[in-house]
Copies of this chain bind each other. A is one copy, B any other.
């Protein structure tokens, strides 16, 4: 429910109203302008008219989306998240790059150096790897987190890495700037709820058969649990096409931007699974309006322990950053 306040409501009266609503058991979000969003509680049981009679309330609007905190209705302006003096969700394109898996200090540092030289903002690298097969490399674990924290600090890069379960969250939230939740865990509701209790921004990847609405409901779990800093990530869906590993669904970018105020990045590496498609689809992601992109690169792509088929060389990554920035400039 959205409460539109009277135009002349002063600061103190507004705070008093918020306190009163919170005492009634609601979560109150100060939306843009003079609008308060009322979330949860015994929402559906409440008589709308009761709200209309509260002091300073001019009009009551229903919240039509199933997601409330994530909805553009609740907050009209874009959410901008600032990490290490870098912004995502604002005017500048946010570039996240790095290897699929953290394999060694040398490998990760080489990637960080190239990322920094080419103007990337964040370094990604997997320490815990969700693998379809239990016989495949499962990631370096905590030593990997230590490495990315150290190298991220050295090169002034925001660090991003995936967490797969609640037990990893405490240590990961210390070492990492941004916690990534992978496609397979997008509806792991226990994990989502725990993410609400930490301060780190969360990069939430769309499940490979999740609708836009389901992605936003997953974000809602995190937000409702207390963490408003959710970055959505389109990373490809499952279709009948076999040339690509996934079908990067760029329609999600403008569609989500209509539905939510949260930042949206696109991952053309996983989204296509084909190295030669990453550059053009990175360009397309930016043209579609993505706030950022996430790409995989490796000093020796063909020797990457995981996802070798989609990993860029440093040369291609450098070219990619040039091209996406030209596209970004053309949008202004």
Which residues of chain B are near A114, meaning CB under 8 Å?
none
Output the residue of A43, A280, A285, A326 with the most chain B CB within 10 A: A280
Choose from B187, B241, B251 the contact partner of A277 (Cβ within 8 Å): B251
Determine the residue in chain B with the shortest Cβ distance to A249. B247
B-side contacts of A258, CB under 8 Å? 276
A166 at the interface (CB under 8 A from B): yes
Tell me, yes or no, whether A23 is within 8 Å of chain B by CB: no
Contact check, A191 vs B165: say whether CB atoms are below 8 A apart.
Answer: yes
Q: Is A217 an interface residue (CB 8 A)?
A: yes
Tally of chain A residues near chain B (CB < 8 A): 73
Give chain B nearest CB distance to A39 CB in angstroms: 9
Task: Name the B residues within 8 Å of A250 (CB-CB).
Answer: 248, 250, 281, 284
Chain B nearest CB from A296 CB (Å) reads 16
Report the nearest B residue to A277, measured CB to CB: B254
Q: Which of A48-56, A117-125, A128-136 contacts B (4 or more CB under 8 A)?
A: A128-136
Among the 9-residue stretches A30-38, A71-79, A170-178, A286-294, the one with 4 or more Cβ atoms under 8 Å from chain B is: A286-294
Contact assessment for A189 and B130 in the assembled complex, using a CB-CB cutoff below 8 Å = yes
A274 within 8 A of partner (CB) = yes
Interfacial chain B residues near A239, Cβ < 8 Å: 237, 239-240, 247, 249
Chain B residues whose CB sits within 8 angstroms of the CB of A253 once the complex forms: 280, 284
Pick from B209, B224, B255, B277: contact of A240, CB below 8 A. B209
